[in-house]
Structures are given as structure tokens and as C-alpha cells.
Amino acid sequence: MVRKEWNLLSMIMWSVAGGVSILVFFLVLFQVHFQREVSQSGPADLVQFVCDNESSKRAALFIRYNGEVIASVNPSVRMPLASTVKIIVAIEYARQAADGRIDPEQPVSLDALRSFYVPKTDGGAHEAWLSHVQAMYGNDSVPLSEVASGMIAYSSNANTEYLLQLLGINNVNDVLSLFGLTDHEPVYPLVSTLFVPARLMTENEWTKKQTAQRIEQMKLAEYRQCSIDIHEHWPPSHQEIKHMYRMMNMTFQKLWSDRLPRSTVEEYATVMAKLNSKSFLSKEVHAYLDPVLEQIMKEPANQQWLLHAGKKGGSTAFVLTEAMYATAKDGGRMELAFFSDGLTVLEQAKLLRALNTFERELLQNESYRQKIKDLFSG
């Protein structure tokens, strides 16, 4: 009897082990396939994605080259901006610096910035920026200009939240009027918004399901105001922080992503054109804006063929966006905005890898520009 029980137990253990081995095999196979798909992606994949998703409005693209529109796909469809909206914050930072309302050299306590940092919500962006600046300035403080640069170069949400508090949210939204952005939704805090579900759950003693249903029913203006209220009474309570982490599942991430400020690719291409001209804003403003927004010009290779260029992208679990401008030494001038939503993990990874090469081809290859024009400008 003992022998039979041992044999049965042995068979079960071997079955479990075999099942685990098969699962591990398929996981490894999936990972290899995923990495191969991403590594082989290029501009053609981005172009195909735009073609395949024009009617579903999951993709939008707008490109100008030397003032001529060469691509216009869903130009007036509002889509979540994610961190691309930080361009607007950077512009207001530069305006206030040029006006003397803020001092770019004023020291900012790293502890003050950490108070806005919510670990595990930004893909490690803020920690990466901290490592960079602490190597130069130590552990106490950094100049305000570095805070603004970290918002763009590293996409630190904590830095963005700090700047919104310093500059004033209403002042940041004045930039929308300055640039004539009538389809752009108001800018509001990114980090504070993560705590809207937690605030509702704490105040009303709701379940996750009840909280999600309430958010779905909320008007955007009410949702934004709730975020601003949290921002103005920062930091959140210990209970709200606890609830926030408990609610970071895909349901609540989607609710957050869908309610981020939205605009259109045509509007952002227009913003890029005004920045590319170097004449819409004053020289004094550009003196503070360009070092923040034109991070790619720090690369010696880019300095060899570009006069100036700036860009900012953004992403959530579902969204990938980017807006850029560039003027090449050969006289070519381009502005581009690409927005996408409802992405799978593989789609996002492939598009992210393809974007830079796509932009470079457009700037450097006349026949490729004509191909894109023939495909998308009709």
C-alpha cells in the first residue's frame, strides 16, 4: 500500500513538473518571439499601423515638411497625450523664466521633489533622473533648470507635478490660448490624478467596483477638479496611498489613461511649427526653452546635420504619443505629431522602436517623403 501511494505521489509530482516545464518552454518561446518581432520592427511597421487603424481611430498622424502637409490622418481626433503634454509645461516654465517671475538657478530641494514621487508608477523615470543629477549636484538640491530638463529628458512625473505647483496650473493653461489650441483639453496634474480613485474609495467607503463605476459616470470637469483638489492638499493620506497601490490594476489604469488631457495631432504639429520657427516666442523665452526641449541636440552626431530639433513623447499601458520639430542644415524643416491608443504591449514596443527611424527617414530621404505624401496626404 505504501509502495502504491508513493508511486501515485511520484506520478503527480512528475506530472506537475512536466506541466511547469511546458509552461516555462512556452513563456521562453513567447519572449523570444516578442524580442524578435520588436528588433525587426521599423518605419514600415509604423506606416502599416497607421493605415490599418485609421478607420478605428486608434492612430493619428500629421506631418509638415517645409510648410507643406505631407501626411494627415485623423488630424482632428482628440487622443490622450500622456507625457507629450509636458511640452506645454516646459513652455510656461520658459515664459516665466524670461519674465523674471522664476529664477532657473534657484535651488530646489530633492526632498521637495521626492514628496511628489510615487514609486512604481513612472517606469523608474524619476529614480533615473535622480541618479543623474545627484552625480553632479549631490544629494541636497538642484537648480530649477535641471528640474525642467528632467521633466523632458527623463519624463519625471514628480518634476512635472512640482512645476505645476510652482508655475500655477492656470498659468500653464494660458499657453493653450497663446497658441490658439481650441481642441486641447485643460492641463491638470498627472500624479495627483492617480489618487482620484483612492480619494473616492476612502471618502465614501466604496468597493473597487463601485469606485470604477463612479469614475466612469463622472464628467471630465469634475474628475479634473478632484485631481486639482488632491494636488492643492498634497500629500495624500496614508490610507489613500494604500488604496492607490491596491487599485493599480488594468481597469483603473485604463480609466486614468483615457482621462488624461487630450488634443489632436494637427494642433501639436502647429505647436511644433511655431517652436521650429524660433519667431513665435521671443528670443528670451527660447533661451530658456531650447535647453529643456532640445535634448537631442546634446548628441554630437545630431549637431553635425541639424540646426535645431526638439521632441517629447509619452506613453501609458495603452497609449504612445510623440511630437517633434527639426530644422536640418540643408534647409529642410519638419514638424510631426503621432498619437496612438488602445495598444497591445507588442504594438507599443514596435511603434516605439520605429518612431525615431521613421522621423530620420522623413528628414533625410526625399523619395521616402514623397512615398509618405502619396500615401497619406490625399
Q: State pLDDT tens for residues 244-255.
A: 998 889 999 999
**Domain shared by 238 and 325, yes or no:** no
In the chain, DSSP finds a helix count (H) and a strand count (E) of 18, 9
Q: How confident is the model at residue 33 (pLDDT cuts 50, 70, 90)?
A: low
> Where does a domain end: 219, 239, 259?
259
Q: What per-residue confidence (pLDDT) applies to 2?
A: 45
| Helices of type H across 40-156 | 43-52, 86-99, 110-114, 125-137, 144-153
For residues 265 and 377, the model is more confident at: 265
For the question of whether the overall pTM of this predicted structure is more than 0.85, the answer is yes
**Domain shared by 358 and 271, yes or no:** yes
- Is 245 part of a structural domain of the chain? yes
> Where does a domain end: 208, 227, 259?
259
**Domain shared by 255 and 268, yes or no:** no
Q: State pLDDT tens for residues 348-357.
A: 999 999 999 9
**Domain shared by 247 and 284, yes or no:** no
- Is 317 part of a structural domain of the chain? yes
Which grid coordinates are listed for 4?
A: 502504491
Which grid coordinates are listed for 199?
A: 480619494
**Domain shared by 244 and 271, yes or no:** no
Region 111-117 average pLDDT: 95
Quick check: 289 and 94 in contact, CB under 8 A?
yes
Q: How many domains does the chain have?
A: 2
Region 91-120 average pLDDT: 96
**Domain shared by 319 and 306, yes or no:** yes
**Domain shared by 286 and 361, yes or no:** yes
Domain holding 73, by residue range, is 41-80+263-376
- Is 358 part of a structural domain of the chain? yes
DSSP string, 41-56: --HHHHHHHHHHTTTT
**Domain shared by 287 and 316, yes or no:** yes
Q: What per-residue confidence (pLDDT) applies to 37?
A: 77
**Domain shared by 360 and 273, yes or no:** yes
- Is 129 part of a structural domain of the chain? no
To 5 degrees, how large is the angle CA 309–CA 126–CA 354? Answer: 45
- Is 121 part of a structural domain of the chain? no
**Domain shared by 343 and 290, yes or no:** yes
- Is 200 part of a structural domain of the chain? yes
For residues 242 and 49, the model is more confident at: 49
Q: How confident is the model at residue 376 (pLDDT cuts 50, 70, 90)?
A: very high
Which grid coordinates are listed for 76?
A: 482632428
The whole-angstrom separation of Cα 138 and Cα 140 is: 6
Side-chain-facing half-sphere of 128: CA atoms under 13 Å = 14
**Domain shared by 241 and 276, yes or no:** no
**Quick one: which H or E segment has residue 311?**
strand 306-315
